[in-house]
Structure 1
């Protein structure tokens, strides 16, 4: 998949010649709703014998439009989003930097400056996609802005249990720790990244050594609790269980950490860039009265996790 990064205003010589079918969206998470849009675009591209292109953005538009004290987090950072788009069979992705200059474009100007200059034969997006002010830059108005220069294809909502699949819904599901439900909405098992760093090494004294994961602040991790996970180190995936929490058994007001115990594993992996694949929620974080009770629970967590992996196979 070819990736072209653009900044407003962009130079026309960066745009390949030839018509394309273009899917539009921010595509955070590239979940099943997004996949439906891309699949529709792929279908039309195949019919027209044209490449499939995607128009997306390097960060969320809300950064330009709103003021907030909260860190913006993503279901898929840009590298992960590009990886997922390539898995969907996209040939070309335009990554546009969402800036104040871009946000000030009127809908007609955006269509003229971007869609037309991208040589779009057909533009495809979800029914609620906007490309400017939500009052005027709607999909039902895009046909007028197109002025017959390209086809407009609107994709209906993709639903699960009669509720729209959306990035917002998935975020709420992750915030509740409902990993299996979130993975169903994603259409794949959720992944985050991180760096293995030194921790307190307490897990080793308990018989459950852990890899402490320093995760990027712009990636959304699930709710506090204990989970069945896999960890990718290099090219290999290893089964294990993860704890997100504050280690409340050992004191109050402790920092939030992500620690992963890998099964049948005994290697030093400090400094490794890793990927966490979230499989299933096991339980909430609990403050135990004794270390012995914590160890008993960890043994049960391992039994439960191994059973989950066995049943998956």
Structure 2
């Protein structure tokens, strides 16, 4: 794995020491999905061919903050630390994180190239076919990038990445997760969608039912799947365990309850309050159901555990 350097930038870029020549891949890259991976693989090949480092120019926060009123907190498929980690595995040497501000959002395409891109000393710039930069409503697209470059760097545009004739995109993956379709998200991401969290005290109701759960407080920025029951893997300390997870409101025990994340870790009894854990959302089992009585719930939990074991055994 490459030891990736992260460098934060703010426009206007001042007191910045220009790096050695490098290939620069541009994009927001939320999810670093299979389409993004194709862009980074092409950029890595260019960098190796020319014997220069590979850098990424990305943004934080999401550009939407400069254009729209937010109706809910910003969430990401891959918050910045996870994005950097995945990019390290893909051979990226340096990640430039440009603060996305109103000033940056107003730059025309030529100005963006002259005052932002050229600061990174690119020998080649690589991006997906639909990548936009600079002000909305201008010619800040890949078709015009070579014109703005004026022979100062080469431009490589990576074409659309499809999976069974469906465009692979961050928005598609977010929609799939919201619908509970974690299997589809896995296909588009090229890996299992994961989140993290801290184990906190809950109502201990699962323990009373014979299914003790780890209640997970998830960071606000991370994109959880929609309400439902899932087969998951959970990493505690340095070991992965199988589990069944509930994202829901525990409607059997009352209405208008807050959404919680609870995981029954199979064949595991230790208390782990305060531990940082990672969760892989492997497979959707069913939706949340309001049960008529506690015994019906217990019967269903036994069936969920059976289905979870069956799913993972079939994967072996």
Tell me the TM-score normalised to structure 2 length.
0.96
Q: How does 1:264-283 map to 2 (within 5 A)?
A: 264-283=267-286
Q: Is the 8 A contact 2:13 2:115 kept in 1?
A: no
1:19 corresponds in structure 2 to 21
TM-fit CA distance, 1:134: 4.3
Q: Is the 8 A contact 1:174 1:182 kept in 2?
A: yes
**Cα RMSD (Å) of the superposition?**
1.2
**Cα-to-partner distance string for 1:119-171 (whole Å, 9 max, x where unaligned):** 10000001110111243101000011000000001110000121210001111
Q: How does 1:51-90 map to 2 (within 5 A)?
A: 51-90=53-92
Residues 1:292 and 2:292 aligned together: no
* 1:117 aligned counterpart, secondary structure: helix
TM-fit CA distance, 1:106: 2.0
1:149 corresponds in structure 2 to 152
Which of 168, 172, 180 aligns to 1:165? It is 168
Q: How does 1:1-313 map to 2 (within 5 A)?
A: 1-16=4-19, 18-132=20-134, 133-313=136-316
Q: Is the 8 A contact 2:108 2:138 kept in 1?
A: no
Alpha-carbon distance between aligned partners in 1 of 2:172 and 2:43, rounded to the nearest angstrom? 24
Q: Is the 8 A contact 2:23 2:125 kept in 1?
A: yes
* 1:142 aligned counterpart, secondary structure: helix
Q: Is the 8 A contact 2:13 2:116 kept in 1?
A: no
Q: Would you identify which runs of 4 or more consecutive aligned residues in structure 1 move more than 4 Å? A: none
Alpha-carbon distance between aligned partners in 1 of 2:314 and 2:50, rounded to the nearest angstrom? 44
Alpha-carbon distance between aligned partners in 2 of 1:228 and 1:30, rounded to the nearest angstrom? 23
Alpha-carbon distance between aligned partners in 2 of 1:134 and 1:245, rounded to the nearest angstrom? 41
TM-fit CA distance, 1:229: 0.5
Q: Cα 1:14–1:4, aligned 2, differ >3 Å: closer, same or farther?
A: farther
Gaps of 5+ in 2: none
Q: Which stretch shows the higher mean deviation, 194-203 or 96-105?
A: 96-105
* 1:116 aligned counterpart, secondary structure: helix
* 2:24 aligned counterpart, secondary structure: strand
Alpha-carbon distance between aligned partners in 2 of 1:267 and 1:57, rounded to the nearest angstrom? 41
* 1:287 aligned counterpart, secondary structure: coil
Q: Is the 8 A contact 2:242 2:265 kept in 1?
A: yes
**Cα-to-partner distance string for 1:94-125 (whole Å, 9 max, x where unaligned):** 11111122222221111112221211000000
Q: Is the 8 A contact 1:12 1:117 kept in 2?
A: no
Q: Which stretch shows the higher mean deviation, 201-210 or 100-109?
A: 100-109
TM-fit CA distance, 1:86: 0.9
Tell me the TM-score normalised to structure 1 length.
0.97
Alpha-carbon distance between aligned partners in 2 of 1:47 and 1:61, rounded to the nearest angstrom? 32
Q: Is the 8 A contact 2:181 2:284 kept in 1?
A: yes
